[in-house]
Structure 1
C-alpha cells in the first residue's frame, strides 16, 4: 500500500485531510442545527432542501477529493495535482455563496406558515446567528487550504518534475501525445465529480422521493457515471477504439441531459445549482474533445508508457541514475536526478 514518503507529499495529504475533517464537521453542525429548527413540513418546499443540498455535496466533494489526492500522489501526477488545486478553488467559490443562499432560504422559511398558523422555521431560535460563524469558518478553512495546496503543488513540481522529458527525450510528438493522455485522464476523474455532484444535489431537492420517478433514475445515473469513468480510463490506457466511442456517446448523452436541466433550473433561479450544472456541462464537452484527441493518437506507440508496468522499489527521488516508469494517468519515479 502506498504512503507518501517525502515531506511535501505528506504535507499535501495532511492539508487535504485536515481541510476535509474541519469542513465536514462544520457543515454537519449547520445541517443538524437547521434541521432541528425546521418544521417537518418544510421538506415540501425547495428552500427546505437548501442546507441538505450543500451538506450532501460537501460530503461527496471532500471524500472524493481525498481519493483524488491519494491517487495523484501515488501516480506522481503533476497534472492531477494542478486539477486538484482548481477543484479546491471551485469548492471555495461554492462555499462562499453558501451563506447568502442559506440566509435567503431561512428568511423565506421564517415567513412561510404551515396551515397559516406555524412558521416553517421555529421562531426565537436565532438559527442564522448560530450557524453564521460556522459557515464563515468553512470559507476560511477552504481559503487557507486552497492557498496551501497551490503552494505545495508549486513546490512538488521539483519532486515530480516533468519526467516525460527524461523518458521521451527529444521526441516532441510523443511528449504531446502523452500530455494529451494525462489531461484526458485527469478530466475523466474530475468530470465524474461534477456529474455525480450535480446528481446528488438533484436528489436532495426532490420533495417526495418515495413517489418521484426521478429519484431511481438519478441513482442509476450515478452508477452509469461511475461505469463510464472506469471504461474511459481502461479504454484510453489500452487503446480500445470501440470502447472509447461508447464513452464519447455516453458523454454526448450527459451533455444533452445537462443542457436540458440547465434550461429548467434557469427558470427556477437556483444559481448555485445552475453554476454547478454549467461547470459539469463544460467538463463533459472538454472530455468529449480530449477523448477524440486521444483516440486519434491510438496505435502510435503511446501504450508503451500508459499500460501498467511491473512496479519498481521507490528510492530517494533526489539521487542520480534516473529510473522511470509510467502507468495509468501519472508517473512513478525512482532515483530522479533533478539537475539533468
Structure 2
C-alpha cells in the first residue's frame, strides 16, 4: 500500500495552513506593537544626542535601548520561531514522522509561554515610572504601554487557539502515518524500537538548534557589548554548537562510532556553558545587564540545558544500537521506502496473499503470517 503524496490529504494541508495562519497573525501583532513603540512620542519625554561641540545631532522620544534592542529582538525571535515551526511541520509531513509532530505540539505550547512572557518583558522595557500617565514612561490610561497591551495579549491567545486545532489534525495524521515505520524497518519489534529512538534523537537535535539560536540572539542583540569578552565567547560558541548538532546527526545516521563519541563529549561540555550563563543572569556583578530580558533568557537557557541533557541520554542509547542492522534503514527516509514498497507488484491469483510475499525491508525474509496490509 502506498502512502499519500505530500500535502495531498486534507489533514496535511489543514495542519500546515493552521501553522501558517497563526504565524501571520502573531507576526502582525508583534510588528504593530513595534511600530507603535517606534512612533510613540510626547512633549518633555525626549532626550538628545550631541556632538563634541555640544550641538544636538538627533532627538529620541524614548530610551534608545528600547527601540534598538528589546522589541526588535522580540520581533526577531518570533519570526525565527514561526519560520522554524513551519519548516519543522513540512519536514515532519515529508518524513511521515509522528514523533516530530508531537515535538511540534510541545514547541507550540512553549510559544504560548514565550508570548505571555513578552507581555512582562515589554512592560519592563517601556514602563519606567509605574502609576504615572506619562505617555512614554507610565502605565496609566492613555500611555504607550496601554496602547500596545491589546496587541501583546492577542498573540498568546491566537497561539493557544491554534494549538487546539493542531491537536485535532495531529490525531488524524497519527492514523494516516500508521504504517510509516513498518515501511522502513519491517515488522521486527526490536528494529522498530531502535528506529524510534533514532527519530527522537534527530528531532531533539533540531529543537536544540532553535533553543541555542534563541539564547544567542537575545544575548548578542539585547545584552552584550561588542567590546566584552563574554561577547567574544558567545560568538565562538556558535560554530562549535553548529558542528556538534550537524556532526551528531551525521554520526548517528551513518553509525560512525568515533564521531559520535566526540559529539557526546562536546554535549557535556556545552552543558557547562549553559550553567555559566544562568549564573551570569543573577550574580550581582552582571544582573543589571539582563534586567529587561532575564525572564525570557532564563526560560530559554533552562530549556536548552534540559533538551541537550535529554539529547545526550538518547544519544548514548542510540550509540548502543550501532551495528545491530539498522544502518540501511536510517539512510533511507520513509518517502523512499514507501515508493519502493508501492512499486512491488501484487501477487497474481493462486500465488498467495500479501502476508506471504517477500519483504524488501527485511532483507528478503518472510513476513509473519499474521502481518497483512489491507
Measured against the shorter chain, the TM-score band is 0.7 to 0.9
Task: Between 175-184 and 92-101, report the one with greater CA deviation.
Answer: 92-101
Selected match of 2:282 from 248, 266, 271: 266
Does residue 17 (structure 1) correspond to residue 25 (structure 2)? The answer is: no
Structure 1 match to 2:165 = 148
What residue ranges of structure 1 are gaps of 5+ in the alignment?
A: 113-117, 327-336
Does residue 295 (structure 1) correspond to residue 319 (structure 2)? The answer is: yes
**Could you list the per-position Cα deviations for residues 239-288 of structure 1 after superposition, in whole angstroms to 9, with x for gaps in the alignment?**
11122122222322221110111112134362222111101100010111
Structure 2 match to 1:307 = 331
User: Is the 8 Å Cα contact of residues 127 and 136 (structure 2) preserved in structure 1?
Assistant: no
What residue ranges of structure 2 are gaps of 5+ in the alignment?
A: 42-46, 48-59, 347-353, 362-370
Q: TM-score, with normalisation over the residues of structure 1?
A: 0.81
User: Is the 8 Å Cα contact of residues 158 and 338 (structure 1) preserved in structure 2?
Assistant: no
Compute the displacement of 1:29 (Å): 1.4
Q: Which has the larger radius of gyration?
A: 2
CA distance in structure 2 between the aligned counterparts of 1:192 and 1:222, rounded to whole angstroms: 10
User: Is the 8 Å Cα contact of residues 56 and 201 (structure 1) preserved in structure 2?
Assistant: no
Does residue 157 (structure 1) correspond to residue 174 (structure 2)? The answer is: yes
Structure 2 match to 1:179 = 196
SS at match of 2:323: coil
Compute the displacement of 1:106 (Å): 1.7
Task: Between 36-45 and 11-20, report the one with greater CA deviation.
Answer: 36-45
User: Is the 8 Å Cα contact of residues 194 and 279 (structure 1) preserved in structure 2?
Assistant: yes
CA 1:216–1:314: 2 relative to 1, 3 Å? farther
Compute the displacement of 1:37 (Å): 3.1
CA 1:75–1:166: 2 relative to 1, 3 Å? closer
CA distance in structure 1 between the aligned counterparts of 2:270 and 2:233, rounded to whole angstroms: 13
Q: TM-score, with normalisation over the residues of structure 2?
A: 0.75
CA distance in structure 2 between the aligned counterparts of 1:122 and 1:49, rounded to whole angstroms: 20
CA distance in structure 1 between the aligned counterparts of 2:181 and 2:261, rounded to whole angstroms: 27
Does residue 82 (structure 1) correspond to residue 102 (structure 2)? The answer is: yes
SS at match of 1:205: helix
Residue correspondence of structure 1 range 120-135 to structure 2 within 5 A: 121=137, 126-135=143-152
| Aligned residue pairs, count | 319
CA distance in structure 1 between the aligned counterparts of 2:257 and 2:89, rounded to whole angstroms: 29
User: Is the 8 Å Cα contact of residues 24 and 58 (structure 1) preserved in structure 2?
Assistant: yes
SS at match of 1:149: helix
**Could you list the per-position Cα deviations for residues 152-195 of structure 1 after superposition, in whole angstroms to 9, with x for gaps in the alignment?**
11111011115334655552222221111111111111111111
User: Is the 8 Å Cα contact of residues 195 and 326 (structure 2) preserved in structure 1?
Assistant: yes
Compute the displacement of 1:218 (Å): 2.9
